[in-house]
Amino acid sequence: MKTMKMIAIPAAVLALAGCATTPGPDELRTNAIAMMKASFKERGQAKLDRIDQDDMQRLCSEYVGEKVMPKEIAQSLEKAQQALIKYPADGKLLGDWKLGERIAQSGVGKQYSDDPKKPAGGNCYACHQLTKEEVSYGTIGPSLYNFAKVRGYGEQIQRYAYGKVYNSQAFSACSSMPRFGHAGILTEEQLRHVVALLMSPDSPVNK
C-alpha cells in the first residue's frame, strides 16, 4: 500500500503541473501566428499582412471542427458584413457576361508572381460548375449552372448575386468563398461582369 501511494502522489503532481503549463486558445493562436510570420517571407505583392485576421475571420476561427457557431452569432456576423457591401452608385449591377466568363476562368492575380498592375481573375471554376460545356471544375462550392434560370432574373436576385460575390460572409457566415469585392480582388466593373455571367438569359450559365 505504501508503494502504491508513493507512486500515485507524484503522478498527480505531474498531472497538475501539466495542466498548469498547457497554453490556452489565445496563447496557441498567438504562437501560431508568430510561427507563420517567422516562416513566410514577403515576395512581391504577397505581404505578411495577409496573415492578419480581421474581426470576422478571428470570430470564425473560434468555431472549427465540432464547435458549431451559435445561430445568433452567425446572424450578427452576417448583418455586420452586409453593412460593408458597396453596391454601384449608379445602380447598374450587370455588365457583359462574356467578359464575366473570362474573369471566371482566370486564376491570375494576388500571387507573388502576378503583376499587381494587371486585373485579377475570379477563378470561379476552381470551386463551382457554371456551364455544362466546362469539362473540369471544382466542387467545393455548389453548382451555379442555371443560377438565374432557377431563381429568376429580377432585380432582387441580381442584387443578391452582386452582394454574394462582393462579400460572401454577408449571406453565409464563415463561408470559404473569397470576399471578392470587400478584399479588393475584383473591381466594381469586374463584379458587374461576373454577375452578368450568372444573371444574363444569354449566358451559358442559364442555357
Q: How many CA atoms lie within 13 A of 185 on its CB side?
A: 25
Average pLDDT, the chain: 89
CA 47 – CA 12 distance, rounded (Å) = 47
Residue 20: pLDDT band by 50, 70, 90 thresholds? Answer: low
pTM, to two decimals: 0.84
Residue type, 134: E
Average pLDDT of span 41-68 = 90
Q: What Å distances lie between residue 3 and 6, 9, 10, 175, 192, CA to CA?
A: 5, 10, 12, 57, 78
Interatomic CA distance for residues 10 and 16, integer angstroms: 10
Q: Which pLDDT band, with edges at 50, 70 and 90, does 98 fall under?
A: very high
In this prediction, residues 198-203 reach a mean pLDDT of 98
Between residues 96 and 10, the one the model is more confident about: 96
What domains can you pick out in the chain, each with its CATH number?
A: 2-82 (no CATH), 97-206 (1.10.760.10)
